[in-house]
Structure 1
């Protein structure tokens, strides 16, 4: 099926540099500096248990709701109750709409009260074959049509799962939020997004811990431009047209994340050379599984 494009440019234009991530209850410390530094896009999710905190700090900011770009997500365990889950998220946020509603991952897990990741007796995550992500996305399209979500998209999808989704989707996802950093540049996925008109959001854009930031080539580039290695990495993402979701509670680092150098082609080529197809966040376990799916199912 040939889907209709949403205004993915609106998402890109709204978040030209960085997003304030609400993944923990330390949101208050992040927002106190963040509002002053022009952070207006907040990324939350039902599973983070921060939606109420996001609603509270937006209300207390004194800024109009329309000044913010709010993203939340459909959890893996609510694919059979999309409308109800979305309504609950709006209630948690204290808002009548969100700017972007994402499917958190393609997998479906059964809902168990108070247990977001139920396990089988062998310790593996329980997964279900139904409802499929195609079916859940069709319900998200209804939410888009209602105007209560200004855009819809996905997260942790590959070229394979996107291709499967687009066989039934009537609306092309505005965004795919994925792990992306110099060790995992995902060039094929990024090019696919460009062809389809899908905006790319990179979570953990600097990887995990200091591993990537300690690369000698990045330190040399940081010295050349008089900035931090984190700023070099984020500037590389921006040069590729990627929306970045860095995570920091430090006011000075938040400020740095909004003031990035312009890299030349040689700089970009050096960072491109760090690619090694290595996942640091969403990675397979010792049994070759991530959130209940094999590498083949995930399309990795």
Structure 2
């Protein structure tokens, strides 16, 4: 498997991202470096991190360890809620770069809107400035609802390139995806396999997987791709890393997609983290 097998998704700012990425949440320290470096060796070119994961240093070490030029990698991190004020946000992006020992991030997101504090527009203005300064190439948000997106676009005239949201078969986010698409925003999927949920064992998923001779995870990730979402699964074993990236040589039928659509729940969030109320600092 090589990265050339992964198609690209164009962003609204002219940059492009691979159509599947690698999540690094909980991958820390020396073990994290090994796992992330293995993912790069196994073909991943989009690496998703966050200031709050406390692993930007491990990510940078893995990039230096891997035998792949930095220019071929797309590296992402996220701004924590406690640093939404303009000056703090700029300093945090700089600190993210120092931690990873990188010259730029390919993508930087606001991690959560934290609406009760009401500073996410200021944070967005800071990311616009960080992009202007060359600290980041593309800017986006995470866990933003349509109301939050409408506000930052109205107040700055700049639409995010990406909105990373919880998205899996139990919570397919049809309305959010439609809103993002209408505004030229790429939807990224966190917990694409339903972290700690039973979606991988779901009989509906297993039946589709059996029909295709594929693993349940591959079917779910293929479902994301066909929805137009960009999944960022995490996997520690080399076998699972390779499986998760080997999803571009088969296609789910309309019937398969309809079957998976029946799994949607009104609020299928894994941990009830509704961005209208949930906040992370």
Q: TM-score range by the shorter chain?
A: 0.7 to 0.9
Residue in 2 that maps onto 1:93 = 100
Q: In structure 2, what is the Cα distance between the partners aligned to 1:35 and 1:41?
A: 9
Q: In structure 1, what is the Cα distance between the partners aligned to 2:195 and 2:236?
A: 16
Three-state SS of the structure 2 residue aligned to 1:270 is helix
8 Å CA contact 1:19, 1:246 repeated in 2 = yes
Q: In structure 2, what is the Cα distance between the partners aligned to 1:242 and 1:163?
A: 20
The size of the alignment, in residue pairs, is 264
Residue in 2 that maps onto 1:221 = 208
Displacement, 1:209?
2.2
Which consecutive unaligned segments of at least 5 residues does structure 2 have? Answer: 1-9
Task: Identify the match of residue 42 of structure 1 among 26, 47, 66.
Answer: 47
- TM-score between the two structures when normalised by the length of structure 2: 0.87
Three-state SS of the structure 2 residue aligned to 1:71 is strand
- Structure 1 residues 227 and 75, CA gap change in structure 2 (3 angstroms): same
Residue in 1 that maps onto 2:181 = 194
Deviations 1:211-234 (CA, angstroms, capped at 9, x unpaired): 112221111111100111111111
2:250 paired with 1:246:
no
Q: In structure 1, what is the Cα distance between the partners aligned to 2:208 and 2:216?
A: 8
Q: Kindly report which structure 2 residues correspond to 1:1-300, keeping only aligned pairs within 5 A, or say none.
A: 7=12, 10-11=15-16, 14-25=17-28, 26-80=31-85, 81-107=88-114, 129=117, 132-260=119-247, 261-284=250-273, 289-291=277-279
Cα RMSD of the aligned pairs, angstroms, is 2.1
- Structure 1 residues 102 and 148, CA gap change in structure 2 (3 angstroms): same
Deviations 1:80-102 (CA, angstroms, capped at 9, x unpaired): 21111111111111111100010
Q: In structure 2, what is the Cα distance between the partners aligned to 1:104 and 1:221?
A: 34
Structure 1 ranges of 4+ moved more than 4 A: none
- TM-score between the two structures when normalised by the length of structure 1: 0.82
Displacement, 1:22?
4.5
Larger radius of gyration: 1
Displacement, 1:7?
3.2
